[in-house]
């Protein structure tokens, strides 16, 4: 099965960049051969496989992978909280924190900031039957949120998808201050969220395990914040406590693997930046950094 090379736009440089896929050969075998895909289906139904793989990434011997991984994907080690040799395992480096000044959040209340590093697509208007476009996947909002009842407040609203690659910073943050409810697990499988896998299983985001949190944001209304697990991602770890949260506060992190965030906004509450709207309309992902501006909030009075 052939697959054209995926490109994304780097928002800082403005240039198109070819997607670099860690373990591309293995992913192609798992998702593009008959035997590999059968094995993938077997493993994806078992959280134990992901936990076992995660255990392996926690072993001290996995530290030897840190330096070549950082070199291959040009990870800026000056941003990282500790030097690479101070991480006890590859997983510890994978879920690394950054220095506080590395990802500042705009404090202007009307500015909507990216909750994580990754490649984004935006959907400015969710109709009753809208299928959310995610790199070859067309998924109903209700399937992602787990039910029509959960999706109802966001009909006519907007959605933000952030796809994290394994080399990205894997901690995610609250885009605004407000009150966050408890996180709720939406059961599912553990497929990869890489475009190679999305081509083979186009409704991956509705199949994978997800965590749903409702944030009553001070400036953007009621926000549904969904974390999507992935192949070899055994854990989506929440580091916040339900209750009051601050803009830019860490919400949690993904352990080893590529993963995705999907945020849903009520009607008339946010407007995404023009370049993101233009590129998303063409199916082109844009790489952004945590805390960078991606849109603005709209006063409820102005949206009437």
pLDDT digits 0-9 by tens, 197-247: 444 444 444 456 789 999 999 999 999 999 987 654 447 899 999 999 999
List the alpha helices (DSSP H) in 97-167.
Answer: 141-145, 148-151
Q: How far out from the chain centre does Cα 149 lie?
A: 23
79 or 50, greater pLDDT: 79
- Structure confidence at residue 35 (pLDDT): 58
What is the structure's pLDDT at 194?
46
Alpha-carbon torsion (300, 295, 153, 225), positive or negative: negative
* Whether the predicted pLDDT of 196 surpasses 80: no
Q: At what angle do helices 47-58 and 34-44 cross, to 10 degrees?
A: 90
Dihedral over Cα of 283, 284, 288, 291: its sign: negative
Mean pLDDT of 266-284: 96
Q: Which is nearest to 191 in space by CA: 19, 39, 16, 22?
A: 39
What burial letters (b/e) apply to 215-227, b meaning 16+ CB within 10 Å?
A: bebebbbbbbbbb
Distance between CA atoms of residues 273 and 277, nearest Å: 6
Q: Look at residues 89, 113, 41 and name the one whose alpha carbon lies nearest to residue 293.
A: 113
Instruction: Note the pLDDT of residue 232.
Output: 47
What HEC string does 259-276 produce? EEEEEEECCCCEEECHHH
Query: What local confidence, expressed as pLDDT, does residue 43 receive?
Result: 55
Shortest CA distance to 186 belongs to which of 145, 218, 215? 145
Residues 195 and 19: beta-carbon distance below 8 Å: yes
CB atoms within 10 A of CB 101: 7
Mean pLDDT, range 136-165, rounded to an integer: 88
Cα→Cα distances 230→90, 131, 149, 156, 280, Å: 17, 21, 25, 28, 23
Catalytic residues: 117, 173, 259
Domain boundaries, the chain: 18-94, 105-297
Supply the pTM of this predicted model.
Answer: 0.82
* Residues paired with 271 in a beta bridge: 296
Q: Worst-scoring range by mean pLDDT, 133-142, 230-239, 252-261?
A: 133-142
Is there a contact between 112 and 220 (Cβ–Cβ < 8 Å)? Answer: yes
């Amino acid at each position: 099965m052939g697959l054209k090379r995926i490109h994304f736009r780097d928002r800082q440089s403005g240039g198109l960049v070819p997607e670099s896929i860690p373990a591309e050969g293995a992913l192609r075998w798992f998702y593009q051969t008959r035997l590999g895909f059968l094995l993938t289906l077997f493993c994806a139904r078992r959280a134990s496989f992901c936990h076992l793989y995660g255990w392996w990434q926690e072993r001290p011997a996995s530290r030897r992978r840190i330096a070549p991984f950082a070199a291959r994907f040009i990870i800026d080690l000056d941003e990282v909280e500790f030097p690479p040799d101070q991480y006890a395992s590859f997983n510890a480096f994978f879920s690394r924190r950054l220095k506080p000044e590395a990802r500042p959040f705009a404090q202007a209340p009307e500015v909507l900031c990216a909750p994580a590093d990754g490649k984004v697509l935006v959907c400015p208007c969710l109709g009753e039957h809208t299928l959310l476009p995610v790199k070859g996947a067309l998924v109903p909002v209700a399937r992602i949120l787990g039910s029509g009842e959960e999706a109802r407040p966001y009909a006519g609203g907007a959605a933000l998808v952030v796809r994290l690659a394994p080399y990205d910073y894997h901690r995610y943050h609250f885009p605004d201050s407000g009150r966050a409810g408890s996180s709720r697990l939406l059961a599912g499988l553990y497929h990869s969220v890489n475009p190679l896998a999305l081509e083979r299983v186009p409704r991956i985001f509705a199949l994978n395990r997800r965590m749903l949190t409702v944030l009553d944001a001070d400036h953007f209304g009621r926000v549904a914040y969904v974390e999507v697990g992935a192949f070899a991602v055994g854990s989506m770890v929440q580091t916040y406590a339900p209750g009051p949260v601050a803009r830019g506060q860490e919400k949690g992190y993904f352990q080893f693997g590529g993963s995705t965030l999907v945020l849903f906004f009520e009607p008339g509450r946010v407007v995404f930046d023009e370049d993101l709207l233009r590129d998303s309309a063409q199916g082109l992902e844009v790489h952004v950094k945590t805390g960078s501006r991606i849109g603005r909030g709209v006063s409820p009075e102005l949206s009437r």
